Amino acid sequence: MHLCSCTPLMIQRYRSRISGPLLDRIDIHIEVPAVKFRDLVDRGEGENSGAIAARVARSREVQKERFRGTRVHCNAQMSARMIRKFCEPDAAGNRMLEMVTDRLGLSARSYTRILKVARTIADLELVEQIKETHISEAIQYRSLDRKTG
């Protein structure tokens, strides 16, 4: 295994080569650290892939019903009007979005990506109302939006 010896400034320079408008078009961007051998062989109780697949299938059915009669098939394809209709977070979620948008200086496109991902997270839980926890998780999937340096 090779450990990165790059300084934070070197990493920031490399990441700045990817334009903001391009990053805005990517729904989810996260760092995935290397997994330790011990974690790979751990036989701990985790959610099995069958249960995960069933949860995803239920979520897709929710979306299919939501967009019945339209050309939209999933949350990622929602128009601005649909986002306003289907992605209204609770009060705490709105406060969090306001704070994070101001603090990180998110673009309008990043803001809508967060809402779409939060809608999907809520759908996976079979919850109609987007809550602060859904917004928080969606924000975590936007790691490259965070200002560094």
Question: Which sequence spans correspond to the domains of the chain?
Answer: 49-149
Task: Enter the tokens of residue 78.
Answer: 């929602």
- pLDDT tens track for 29-69: 777 778 888 887 877 777 888 999 999 999 999 999 999 99
d(CA 118, CA 64): 17
DSSP for residue 125: T
Which residues of the chain are modeled with pLDDT < 50? 147-149
The alpha helices in the chain, defined as continuous H runs, are: 8-15, 20-24, 37-41, 49-66, 80-86, 91-104, 108-124, 132-140
d(CA 82, CA 47): 32
Q: What is the pTM of this model?
A: 0.77
